[in-house]
A = this chain, B = another copy of it.
Amino acid sequence: MDSKDFQIIRELQKDGRLSNQELSERVNLSPSPCLRRVRNLEKEGVIRGYAAIVDEPSLGLSVTAFVRVTLERHTEETTREFEDSIRRIDEILDCYVMTGGSDYLLRVIAPDLQSYERFVRERLHKVKAIASIDTGFAYGVVKRSTLLPYPV
């Protein structure tokens, strides 16, 4: 992976629907090697996919919550079961394993506070082995970027 690849990655992070033609001009290549590089980055898993970035409020999703979860036990099986459950719940968009007592941090999206309450009662509390949850709500977004730092 050389600097051309980084440039390509950078441009596609900024606009994932760039035509190969336009992309090739921006990184100073002709279309065919450019396309070959893109395909390669996809094949190698450097580019994991492409997604439309959607405005949540426009879809009536105005609540973003961050939820800290701690587990009762940390056996391999409990953990696996917990993580499988998380992956199956659509309202949970992201889930990270955090340092400090094997917690998880979830990012959850819901239409409103009421729906979020229901999500916690009907979905999250049904997940086995959860010891405690602690919700914080986001009531504003300052920044959301898809452009990773450093490799210029």
Say whether A104 contacts B136, CB under 8 Å.
no
Number of copies of this kind of chain in the complex: 2
Residues of B close to A94: CB separation below 8 A: 141, 143-145
- Name the contact of A54 in the complex, choosing from B105, B144, B148 (C-beta under 8 A): B148
Q: Is A98 an interface residue (CB 8 A)?
A: yes
Residues of B close to A136: CB separation below 8 A: 98-100, 105
Per-residue CB contact flags for chain A residues 1-29 toward chain B (1 = under 8 Å, else 0) read 10000100100111111000000000000
How many chain A residues touch the partner (CB < 8 A)?
63
Q: Which residues of A contact B (CB under 8 A)?
A: 1, 6, 9, 12-17, 44-56, 58-61, 64, 66, 83, 86-87, 90-100, 104-105, 109-111, 136-151
